[in-house]
Structure 1
Amino acid sequence: MARPTDWRVLGLDSDPIPQDPDNLYIWAKSYHDYADQVARALSGTNGLLNDPALTGWLGASGQAFKDACLPFPGMLNTAEDAYRGVGDAWDDFSKQIRTLQPQFDSCLNQATTLLQKMKADGGLSDEDALACATSDNDAVMYDRMHAKHMENSSTLGPAGFENALDALSAYRAGFDPLRRQVVDLCGQYTGAKVKCENALNDAADLASKIVKSAGATGTNSMNFDDRFSSRGGNLADLVLSPDAALGLEDSMFPTQGTDPSEISWWWTSLSQPERDKLILEHADLVGALDGIPCLDRDKANRAVLDATRSSVNARIAYLLAHIPPTDGRDYPNPEFDSWNKELDDLRAKQAGLNSVYDRLNNHPDQPPAFLLGLDTAALGHAIVAINNPDTANNVVTYVPGTGSKLGNIAGDISRSDAMVGAAGSGPGFVTSSITWVGYDAPQNIAKDSPFIHYATDAELKLYDFETGLRMTHQGPASLNSIIGHSYGSTTVGFAMRDMGLPVDRVIFVGSPGVGVEHAADLHIDPAHVYIGAADNDPVANLPLAENLTQLPSNALNALGWATGLSDYNVHGPFGQLPYNPEFGAHTFKVAPGALWPPGAAHSQYWVPRSDSLRNIGAIITGNQPS
C-alpha cells in the first residue's frame, strides 16, 4: 500500500498514520483462527472428560487422571478469550485506520493545492513556498517574497508585489482549519491505538494466567508447553507471540513537542497501574511531558534526580581519580583543558542538583516543592514548583534571564519561595510559584545577551509548559501569571508575541525589551501587563540614553554592553522600553535599588518586604499594585 511521504506542509515530519489496514486484518484473522482452534480443543476436552468410560474410572489412578485433567477446560477457555481478544483488537484497529487514512490524505491534498497556489502567485521556490505555508505569521512570508523581489528572481514586478502578498496571506490562513482537523484526527488515531494496546495487554494478562495455573513461575510459553505435553496435551503456545504487539507500545509514547492536550488525553486514558508502570520504566520521558499532572511528573522526576545525582557524582569521582599529567607545563595542554572543562561543568550541575534535592526534601517548614522537569543536557535544566499548580488558586511561572542554568538555580528557587510568601495564603487560597529554567539562557551579558535566538528557541517550550498547566489543573480555572526577569522578560515577550501564552497576567521586571513596540502586541489585554523597573537598574535603564556616552557610569561598568547598542536611542536591544509610557502597560512601584556594587539593583526585585515584591504578590493574586 503506497502512502504519501511528504507531510511537511501540515507541520508533520512523516506520515502520521502509516499502518497498512490489510496487514492488520491479516493479523486479526490469524488470531481469530487460533481462537477457533482452541474452541474446538475445548469442546473435545469437555467431551473426553464427560465420557462415561472416564467418569466411571474408579480408584487412585482414576482420581489422579481427573485431578490432572480438570484444570484444562478453564485454561483452554482463557486461551480462547486471549486469542480472540487480540484478533478483535487488530480488527477494530484496522477498521479505524481505513476510516482515518482517507481523512488525513484529504487534508494533505487540500494543503498541497494551497501550497502550489502560493508558489505560483508569489513567484516562490518550493522551499520558500513551504516556509511561508508553515510559518505562524506573515513576517516570514514577507521576508521570503521581499528577498526574491530584491534579488530580481521573483516572477512578479513591483506593482504585483503587494497584491501577491495579500493573496498569499489569504492562502496561508487557509492552512489553519486543515491543521486543526489534523490535530483532531491525530487525537482519534491516538485513541484507537490506546484502545488496541489495552486490548493486547488484557489478552497478555489472560495468557499469563494460563502459565501460572499450569504451575510455571514465569510467562514463557515453553514452561507451560513442557508441562502440558508431559500430561498428554498438544496445544501450541498459548502465550501471545511478542510479535503480536508490532512495537505498538513504543509508538504510543508521546514525545516532547506533542500537543499537551493530546498528552493529557492519552495519560487520562491509561489505568493507574499503566501509569505507575510507565513512571517506573520511563521516568525521564514521563517527567518531561507537558500535560501530565504535577504529582505524576514529580514522582518521575524525583527518580530522575536520584539517578542523575548518582551518575554525576560517579563521573566526578572518576575524573578526580584520572587527572591528566601536567608535568608543571604552563603551555597549552588540550588534554588537561578538556578534563578541567568537563569537571567544572559537572561540579556546577552537581551544585544545582543538590540545591533541587535540598528544596524538595529538607524544608518541612516551607510549602511543599514539586519537580516538574530535570535534565543535564547543555547547561542543564530544571522546573521546580512551590505548591502544587494543579490545585492552586493562583499560578505564576518565573522565567529568569542571563546567567540562569541548573547550576545557579538555588537563587531562582528562593525567588519563587519569596513570591509565594508575598502572595499570602489561607484556607482554600493557595498560590503556586514555578521556577522555569527550561531553556538555554544567555550566559554572558555582553557576548550572548544581545542575540534573540535564546528567546526564539524557548518559545515553543514555554508555550507547551503553560498549556500543560491549563490542561492538568483541577477544579475552577486558576489565575495564571508569568513573570520574566532581565533576558527572561525578552523570552516571555517573544513567546507572547509569536504564540500568545495562555496566561491572565504578564509581569516584566528589569527588562531590556520584550520584542514589541506596544503592550497590545502581546496577545493579551494591555491592562494585564505590568512593568517593574528600578531607577538604578542598568539593564532597564540602558536604552533610555541617546547614546552610550550619556549613560550613568555605574550602568556602563555593570553591563559592558559597549558593542552594538549605541544606536538604539530610546529603544532597547529588543524594541520599545517596556516602562516607557508609549508602551502602554502598568508600571508598579519599585525601590530605586542600590548604586553599589554596580548592577546590584538589577537583582533586588525580590528583596523581602520591598515594594516590588509586595506588588508582585498583589498582581499574581488578582489585585492591583501600587
Structure 2
Amino acid sequence: MDIKTLHDADIIGISTAKNAFDTLATAFGQHVENWQHDVVDRLGHSEWTGTAAGHANTRITNLGTELQSAKQELGLVSRALQDAYDGFAAAQAHLISALDDAKAAGLTVGPDGGITWDNDPKSPTFAGHGAPEKAKQIQDRITAALNEADHADQTINARLGHLATNASNGTGLDSATAKADTDAAKALQQIPAAGTDPNSVKAWWNGLTDDQQQRMILNHPDQIGNLDGIPAAVRDKANQTNLKNLIQDRNNQLKNLGPAPKQYLDPAETNGGPVENPDYTEWKRKRDTLKEQLAGFQSIQDRLDGKFDDGAGGPHYDPPLLLLGIGDQGQGRAIVSWGDPDKARNVSSLVPGLNSNMAGVGGGDARTAKRIYDSAVSSAQINHDTPSVASVFWLGYDAPQLDGPSVLMKDRAVEGGAAYNQFLAGLRATHEGAPAHVTAQGHSYGSLVVGQATQHPGGLAADDIILVGSPGVGVDKASQLGVGADHVYVGTAKYDPVANAPSPAMLGGLGAAIYETFAHPDASWHGTDPASQTFGAQRFSVADGTVTDSHDNYFGKENKGGDSLPNIGKIVSGHGNTITREDPR
C-alpha cells in the first residue's frame, strides 16, 4: 500500500458493493421463504406417500438446508464488505489528516513518504526550528495509516477469498460450514472471556481491522486491558483509560454516599449505653473501602503522571512505564512494567507478597521494579551486551494482609498462581521476534504464588526463577519447578523472619518439634526451605540484615541488601552464571 493508492481509493465503491449484496441477500432470502411456503409446506400437507414420496421429501429437505446455508454465506459477504469499508475509511481518514497537518506545518510529503521542508530561517516559507520533530511525527502517522490499510486489506481479502471458495466448490451449501463461518464472523465482534488461551486471544485480536481494534479499546477498556494475549502497548492504552474511569467512579460513589448518619443510637433505644448506629457502621465501611480504593488508583495515576520524586524519572519515562493491568476485583489488581515486554530480550516479572496493595504499586513497588530494571541494564553493559530489558511488577492477586491468618494458608497462592501462569503465557504469545528470556520472581508469599504457577499443565512460561525471602513454594525440590534446578535461584537473608519461619509441625508442641527437627530439618512453612541444600537450587549472596529490616532489603540499594540486587540483575539479564554465590544451609 502506498500513499497515492490509499489517498485515492474509492471507499464509496466498497459501500456500493456492500449495498448490492444486501439487496441480493434480501431477494435470495425471499426466494427461500417462497420455496418453504410454496414447495416444502405444501408437500408436507399433501397425502403423497410411498417410496418415491420419501425420496422426494428427503431431497427437498436437504435442498432447503442448502438454500438456508447459501443465504447465510451471502450475508457474511455483506458483513465482510462492511468491515472492509470501515477499515479502509479509517485508514484513509488518518492518512488525509496527517497530510493536511503536514501541509499546515509547511512540510512537503513525497510519493514515497519522504518529507522535505524549507530550512532557511530567512525564507518566507521557513517551516520553523521544530520541523524535524514535526516531520518525524507526521511520518509515523503516515506509516501507521498505511499499515492500517494493509492490515484491513489482508484480513478482508482472506475472509472474502474463503467465502468465494465456498461458493465456487459448493462447500458453502453445507450447514456445518455455514455455521462455522457465521460463528467465526460473530467471534470477531465478541471479546474472548478471561482465561482464554492467550494464543487464541492473539489470533482474535490480529483478525480485527485497526478500526475494530480501536473501537474495542474505546468501548471495552476494562476487558481489553486485562486480557492476556493482547499486545502490551494496547493493554497500556486501554488500562490508562480504564484507570481514569475507576478514579471517576470512586469519586462519584463517595459523593453519592451522602452525609454520615448519626454515629450512636439514642440512649433511650439502648438502655443508656453508647451503641454505634448500624447505619453509621455500614456507611463508614463503604466510605473507608471507597477511599482505600481511590487512594490506590490515584497512586498509580500519580506514578504514571511522574508525580513521585523518588529517582524513577518524570512524566516522560525512559524506559516507558506501561500499565498492563488494573481492576477492582478483590483487594484490587495492578500490573506495571518498565519497558515493553513485547520488545525486550530480557523480561522480569516480580510477584510481591505479604501486605502488598494497590497504593504500594504506585509508590515503592513501582520503584522496586525500576531498581530491577536498572540492575539488569547495568549487568548487560558490564557484559558488553546491548541492554534490552522490561521489568514487570505483578499484583494480579489478593496478597495476604496483616489482618488475619491468610498468609499461613495456600489458597491465595493457588488462585494467584493460576492468574500468574496465564499472564506469563500471554507475554510469551505477544512477544515480537525470538522468544524473550523470562525471569519469574517471587518475594515472600509471592514466591509461593510462583511455585504454584509452575504446577499447571505445560509449566510456567519462564526460563529462570528467583525466590527471595521465601517461606516455601509448595514443592520439595527445585527440580519440581519445571525450569531445571540450575535455573532456580534463591536469596535468603540470615535474619529474615519470614524465610526462617518454622514449619507448622514445629508449632505443635515439644514432641512434634523434636520429631520435625530430626525427620525434616529443612522444613519451612510452605514446604522445604528453598535456601536449603535439600531443595537443590542455586543460592546467591545477600546481606544478613536484621530481624526488622532484612525481609524488605532484597531489592534495596547495595548498602542494604548487599549483593542481592546486583545478583538479581545478573540473572534477569541472562548472566546468572556470574552471580556471587552462597552455600546452601
Normalised by the size of structure 2, how large is the TM-score? 0.62
Report the Cα offset of residue 81 of structure 1: 3.0
Aligned AA (1:431): V
What's the CA shift for 1:527? 0.4
CA distance in 2, matches of 1:369, 1:470: 19
Question: Is contact 1:385–1:435 with CA below 8 Å preserved after alignment?
Answer: yes
How many Å separate the matches in 1 of 2:526 and 2:472? 5
The answer to whether the 8 A contact 2:466-2:489 is kept is yes
Q: Give the C-alpha shift of residue 403 in structure 1.
A: 1.5
Corresponding residue number in structure 2 for 1:97: none
Q: What residue is the counterpart of 1:333 in the other structure? A: 277
Aligned to 1:235: none
Deviations 1:572-598 (A, max 9, x none): 221100001110000100001134xx3
1:516 shift after superposition: 0.6
- 1:74 is displaced (CA, Å) by 11
Instruction: Work out which of the residue numbers 480, 485, 490 in structure 1 matches 2:448.
Output: 490
1:519 aligns with 2:478: yes
**Cα pair 2:337 2:393 within 8 Å, conserved:** yes
Residue number in structure 1 paired with 2:557: 608
Over 3 Å counting, the alpha-carbon distance change for 1:539 and 1:568 in structure 2 is: farther
Aligned residue number for residue 80 of structure 1: 20
- 1:315 Cα deviation (Å)? 1.9
- The alignment status of 1:297 with 2:235, answered yes or no, reads yes
C-alpha separation between the residues in 2 aligned to 1:549 and 1:249? 56
Measured against aligned partners, the alpha-carbon deviations of 1:475-513 in whole angstroms (never above 9, x if no partner) come to 222110010011100010011133410100000000000
Q: Does residue 578 of structure 1 match 2:551?
A: no
Change (3 A) 1:328 1:275: same
Any idea what the Cα deviations from partners look like across 1:129-170, whole Å, max 9, x if unmatched? xxxxxxxxxxxxxxxxxxxxxxxxxxxxxxxxxxxxxxxxxx
Pair 1:248 & 2:192 matched: no
CA contact (8 A) 1:82 1:203 kept: no
C-alpha RMSD over aligned residues: 3.7
Work out the CA distance in 2 between the residues paired with 1:436 and 1:194: 45
Task: Quote the offset at 1:317 in angstroms.
Answer: 3.1
> Which of 248, 253, 260 lines up with 1:323 in the alignment?
260
**Structure 1 residue runs without a partner (length 5+):** 1-72, 90-192, 210-244, 552-561
Q: In the alignment, is residue 506 of structure 1 matched against residue 465 of structure 2?
A: yes
Shift of 1:251: 6.7
Matches within 5 A, 1:131-530: 200-203=79-82, 248=186, 252-319=190-257, 321-327=258-264, 330-362=274-306, 363=314, 364=316, 366-409=318-361, 410-424=363-377, 428-444=386-402, 447-499=405-457, 500-530=459-489
2:221/2:239 contact within 8 Å kept: yes
Shift of 1:463: 1.3
What CA distance in whole angstroms lies between the structure 1 residues aligned with 2:441 and 2:505?
Answer: 28
Number of aligned positions between the proteins? 401
Question: 1:83, 1:203 within 8 Å by CA — same for their partners in 2?
Answer: no
1:249 positional shift: 5.9
Q: Following the alignment from structure 1 to structure 2, what is the Cα–Cα distance between the partners of residues 74 and 522?
A: 55
In the TM superposition, residue 279 of structure 1 has moved relative to its aligned partner by: 0.6
CA deviations 1:267-301 (Å, max 9, x no partner) are 11111111111111111111111001011111111
The aligned counterpart of 1:223 is none
Asked if 2 retains the 8 angstrom alpha-carbon contact of 1:456 and 1:495, the reply is: yes
Question: What is aligned with 1:535?
Answer: 494
Alpha-carbon deviations, 1:73-106, whole Å to 9, x = none? 99976532344589999xxxxxxxxxxxxxxxxx
- CA contact 2:17–2:81 (8 Å) conserved in 1: no
User: Taking structure 1 as reference, are residues 540 and 284 closer, same or farther at Cα in structure 2, changes over 3 Å only?
Assistant: same
1:424 positional shift: 1.5
Q: Once the 2 structures are TM-superposed, how far is the Cα of residue 526 of structure 1 from its aligned partner?
A: 0.5
Aligned mates of 1:445, 1:328 — CA distance in 2? 28
C-alpha contact (below 8 Å) 2:418/2:452 kept by paired residues: no
CA deviation digits over 1:160-191, x for unaligned, max 9?
xxxxxxxxxxxxxxxxxxxxxxxxxxxxxxxx
The Cα shift of 1:332 comes to 3.5
- The 3 A distance-change label for structure 1 pair 365 and 200 is closer
Moved more, 367-376 or 510-519: 367-376
In structure 2, relative to structure 1, the CA distance for the partners of 1:326 and 1:259 (3 Å cut) is same
Check the 8 A contact 1:594/1:601 in 2, yes or no: yes
Structure 2 residue runs of 5 or longer lacking an equivalent are: 1-12, 30-71, 89-181, 267-273, 307-313, 581-585
Deviation per CA, 1:490-546, whole angstroms, max 9, x where unpaired? Answer: 010011133410100000000000011100111111100000101111011122899
Counterparts of 2:451 and 2:19, CA distance in 1: 60
Tell me, yes or no, if the aligned pair for 1:81 and 1:203 is still in contact at 8 Å.
Answer: no
How far apart, CA to CA, are the structure 2 residues paired with 1:357 and 1:198?
A: 44
Say if 2:522 and 2:534, in contact at 8 Å, map to a contact too: no
CA distance in 1, matches of 2:186, 2:552: 50
| In 2: Cα distance, 1:405 partner to 1:74 partner | 52
Letter in 1 for 2:223: L
In 1, Cα distance between the equivalents of 2:386 and 2:248?
A: 39
Shift of 1:402: 1.6
Q: Distance in 2 between matches of 1:196 and 1:585?
A: 60
Distance 1:607 1:77, change over 3 A: closer
Secondary structure of the residue aligned to 1:539 is coil
Call closer, same or farther: CA 1:285–1:420 in 2, change over 3 Å.
same
CA distance 1:206–1:432, change in 2 (3 Å): closer
Question: Structure 1 residues 466, 206: closer, same or farther in 2, change over 3 A?
Answer: closer
Separation in 2, partners of 1:534, 1:75: 68
> Deviations for 1:212-248, whole angstroms, at most 9, x for unmatched residues?
xxxxxxxxxxxxxxxxxxxxxxxxxxxxxxxxx9993
- Structure 1 pair 291/249, CA: closer, same or farther in 2 (3 Å)? closer
